[in-house]
Structure 1
Amino acid sequence: MRLAGIDIGTNSTRLLLAEVEGERVAAVKTDLITTRLGQGINGGSLLPEAMERTLLALEQFLEQIHVFGAKGIITAATSAVRDAVNKEEFLQRVKQRTGLQVLVLSGMEEAAASYRGVLSGLSGCSESTLVLDVGGGSTEMIWPEKQGIQYVSCPVGAVRMTEGGHSPGQITAMLADTLQRIREQAAKDLSLVAVGGTATSLAAMSLQLEQYQPELVHGSYLPLAEIERLYAVLAAAGPQGRKKIKGLQPQRADIILAGVKIIEIVLQGLNLPGLRVSEADILHGLVIKLARSLSE
């Protein structure tokens, strides 16, 4: 069944067109536009220019969906929209301009979709796998316990931390309670899988990719020492120099330091030696959710 998923994130708006059979998702077409809907996120409102950028991206995606065909579309929004005081205005504008009905995910729903997506697309995940999703506005951590899957959503994201001018010490403090809970409750042989633009950018930079190659990024392993090295390179390069680093989208250059620092803090806080990167993420989880609903 060919389905389309759209993820309206804090930093980017993304499209996945895929063939979905049960829990298997085979990508047909993907796209990403840096819309920075979360611009001014700490002010509490979605800005008019940010909403317009996102609306234009949605219109472009609908044209692609029409060309490739899809039996259904699921559109979801995450941190920037759910936290905005004017989210209803945005949702109405999307409906009027595109006809799309946007599902605003709670932090827990976002975490669940990311976890479902990772399990569908990355082999070797086990009962001791923790999924880390660093977004623009929030970070989700998902791990299994005896009682079932546990989800935590923290208001710590690459855009939010950058715009708020948060120091590494402040980010550490904001994540401390969650990391303590995981240390106490999760499996002792915990392994980490990371999804999202920060994680895939780290892999692309480590691989020195001139052009992004998802097949090389997916499943790649990054030791903590390599992540720390890349953070030092990014910090030394400065805002303009970062735009020239192989593997890093220039549009992400201003927020990448905060995103990498979040990942670093999580690995250090859980005493883990490194992580695997997954291309399968929330979008895969969303189209699986849609396929289930259409099959009922």
Structure 2
Amino acid sequence: MNKRVAVMDLGTNTFHLLIAEGTITNYHELIHEHIAVKLGEGGINKGFIQPEAFQRGLDTMQLFQRDIEAHNVTEVRAIATSMLRNAANGTQFINEVAKLTGISIEIIDGDAEANFIYQGVKAGDCLSAGNVLIIDIGGGSVEFILGNDEYIIWKQSFEIGAARLMDKFHKSDPIPQASIDELNNYLEDKLKDMLTAVAGYEIGQLIGSSGSFETLAEVVEQAKGRHFDLKTTKNYLFENDDLIAATDKLINSSHAERKANKAIIPIRVDMIVVASLITRFVMRKLAIGNVLMSTNSLKEGVLTGMLD
């Protein structure tokens, strides 16, 4: 009988639930949910989950528990990242969830988060013998992993996620050039470790792990008048000119323009601006024009370990 497992990735912006059955090399997704909980709303840089966000999180976890029970799942892992590991009331949230649902939430550190992301991307069959830099732009943190299909060379998590940067720098819309300059200076300072660590390595490709990179791919394809289905797309190779044009347009757009764009899901309408700026900063600093999107990320990395 096939093993049936559930993975929850409890992020700063989105709570994900993946229920799957099968083996590590051949599994079938039964449920793949994304709920815009916005756990960091109003408190991301204060280190506190606000009451409304706290309740949204509890409601979502109860919904997930109903799905888990309905699908007769035999093994469950709930992984919490940046917001819950930094919030003063994160432990309170975890205790409330356990009381209401019986689900035990694991808080992982940035190093473990980066490792799971690498495992997830690797499972997506887009790594080779050449070195790549994987980037995962979350709401609370951004992970960078330098490696290839055999091993990780270096990895680090930085608390500079899109929700944090939006709260600091994207205070009027469209984002002013002065704010862009401030954000780039901030990234220059905060990402010194990354820039030092990858110096001297030949990096053939930047791989963006799910999230904002899925939105960027949808924006590019929509601009070309083409249908794009993330459910059937595992990897997407950007044309460099298309990616530059898409990020330029998003960075210079208004909230209303982004909201009207059907390629952008509601949770990313505003955060896609700073996500685009992070992406452009890394491309420019490392002189990388070859960018690939992988729909796999942390939850697939956790899943591979459960089905192993």
1:1-296 correspondence to structure 2 within 5 Å: 1-22=3-24, 24-39=26-41, 40-144=43-147, 148-165=152-169, 167-184=183-200, 186=201, 188-208=202-222, 213-215=229-231, 217-292=233-308
Q: Distance in 2 between the 1:97 and 1:104 partners?
A: 18
Task: Give the secondary-structure state (helix, strand or coil) at the position aligned to 2:253.
Answer: helix
Q: Distance in 2 between the 1:215 and 1:125 partners?
A: 23
Gaps of at least 5 residues in structure 1 are none
Task: Give the secondary-structure state (helix, strand or coil) at the position aligned to 1:85.
Answer: coil
The farther-off stretch of 142-151 and 261-270 is 142-151
The farther-off stretch of 279-288 and 61-70 is 61-70
Q: Distance in 2 between the 1:259 and 1:148 partners?
A: 24
The farther-off stretch of 118-127 and 196-205 is 118-127
**Residues 250, 276 of structure 2: 8 Å contact kept:** no
**Residues 204, 212 of structure 1: 8 Å contact kept:** yes
Q: Distance in 2 between the 1:244 and 1:218 partners?
A: 26
CA-atom RMSD, angstroms?
2.2
Superposed displacement of residue 282, structure 1: 0.6
The farther-off stretch of 188-197 and 97-106 is 188-197
Q: Distance in 1 between the 2:95 and 2:31 partners?
A: 27
Superposed displacement of residue 237, structure 1: 2.7
- 1:67-92 CA distance string (max 9 Å, x none): 23321111001011111122211111
Q: Distance in 1 between the 2:277 and 2:186 partners?
A: 11
Superposed displacement of residue 148, structure 1: 4.9
- 1:207-251 CA distance string (max 9 Å, x none): 118986214542111244323211222233301221111310123
**Residues 130, 143 of structure 1: 8 Å contact kept:** yes
Q: 1:157 to 1:24 in 2, by over 3 A?
A: farther
Spell out structure 1 runs of 4+ moving beyond 3 A: 22-26, 123-127, 145-149, 209-212
**Residues 203, 217 of structure 1: 8 Å contact kept:** no
Provide the aligned length of Structure 1 versus Structure 2: 290
- 1:241-281 CA distance string (max 9 Å, x none): 21111310123112110111111111222111131111111
- 1:186-225 CA distance string (max 9 Å, x none): 3x14322111311111111111189862145421112443
The farther-off stretch of 145-154 and 248-257 is 145-154
Q: Distance in 1 between the 2:128 and 2:29 partners?
A: 20
Q: 1:270 to 1:26 in 2, by over 3 A?
A: farther
Give the TM-score, by structure 2 length: 0.87
Q: Distance in 1 between the 2:22 and 2:133 partners?
A: 24
**Residues 24, 120 of structure 1: 8 Å contact kept:** no
- Letter of the structure 1 residue corresponding to residue 154 of structure 2: Q
Gaps of at least 5 residues in structure 2 are 170-181
Task: Give the secondary-structure state (helix, strand or coil) at the position aligned to 1:36.
Answer: coil
- Letter of the structure 2 residue corresponding to residue 204 of structure 1: E
Superposed displacement of residue 15, structure 1: 0.9
**Residues 179, 266 of structure 1: 8 Å contact kept:** no
**Residues 7, 76 of structure 2: 8 Å contact kept:** yes
Q: Which residue of 1 aligns with 2:178?
A: none
Task: Give the secondary-structure state (helix, strand or coil) at the position aligned to 1:125.
Answer: coil
- Letter of the structure 1 residue corresponding to residue 137 of structure 2: V
Task: Percent identity, please.
Answer: 26
Task: Give the secondary-structure state (helix, strand or coil) at the position aligned to 2:191.
Answer: helix
Task: Give the secondary-structure state (helix, strand or coil) at the position aligned to 2:254.
Answer: helix
Q: Distance in 2 between the 1:228 and 1:80 partners?
A: 30
Superposed displacement of residue 118, structure 1: 0.8
- Letter of the structure 2 residue corresponding to residue 155 of structure 1: E
Task: Give the secondary-structure state (helix, strand or coil) at the position aligned to 2:245.
Answer: helix
Q: 1:127 to 1:69 in 2, by over 3 A?
A: farther
